[in-house]
């Protein structure tokens, strides 16, 4: 998250929480084997941060049994999120700060991280 400049502290903290929760869910629930990949992609534009965690797993929606803390975390800190088979996408809105005097450079773009699972 530190690669993105000028993020409000609350947005940065929430994004770190979402990424850690989604990666933990991938490790615990996606039935990944040794050497399988978990892709983490974070993109920012002017007013939102988009987080995508793809693991190629078979989970495709909310579980009906034993709902965990993860969904409550996503509901609490994300403006929206959804699941497609093997991928969760979450959006966190960024409150726009008051405009500064003079032209301001704003960094847009994305960051990507690939994690490889280890054998047990």
Report pLDDT for 30.
Answer: 85
Tell me what the pLDDT averaged over the chain comes to.
79
Note the pLDDT tens digit of each residue in 14-53: 999 999 999 998 888 888 888 889 999 999 988 999 999 9
The residues spanned by each domain of the chain are: 9-95+110-116
Which strand ranges, in their side-by-side order, compose the sheet holding 37-44? 80-84, 87-93, 48-54, 37-44, 109-116
Is 66's pLDDT higher than 80? Answer: no
CATH architecture of structural domain 9-95+110-116: 2-Layer Sandwich (3.30)
Contacts of 35 (CB under 8 A, 6+ apart): 116, 117, 119
Nearest to 88 by CA among 1, 2, 18: 18
Note the pLDDT tens digit of each residue in 74-98: 999 999 999 888 899 999 998 755 5
Report pLDDT for 21.
Answer: 93
Distance from C-alpha of 37 to C-alpha of 115, rounded to nearest angstrom: 6
């Amino acid at each position: 998250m530190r690669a993105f400049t000028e993020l409000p502290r609350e947005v940065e903290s929430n994004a770190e929480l979402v990424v850690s929760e989604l990666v933990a869910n991938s490790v615990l629930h996606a039935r990944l084997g040794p050497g399988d990949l978990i892709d983490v992609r974070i993109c920012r534009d002017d007013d939102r941060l988009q987080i995508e965690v793809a693991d190629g797993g078979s989970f495709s929606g909310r579980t009906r049994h034993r709902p965990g803390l993860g969904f409550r975390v996503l509901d609490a800190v994300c403006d929206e999120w959804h699941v497609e088979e093997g991928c969760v996408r979450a959006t966190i809105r960024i409150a726009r700060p008051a405009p500064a005097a003079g032209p301001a450079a704003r960094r847009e773009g994305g960051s990507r991280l690939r994690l490889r699972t280890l054998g047990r």
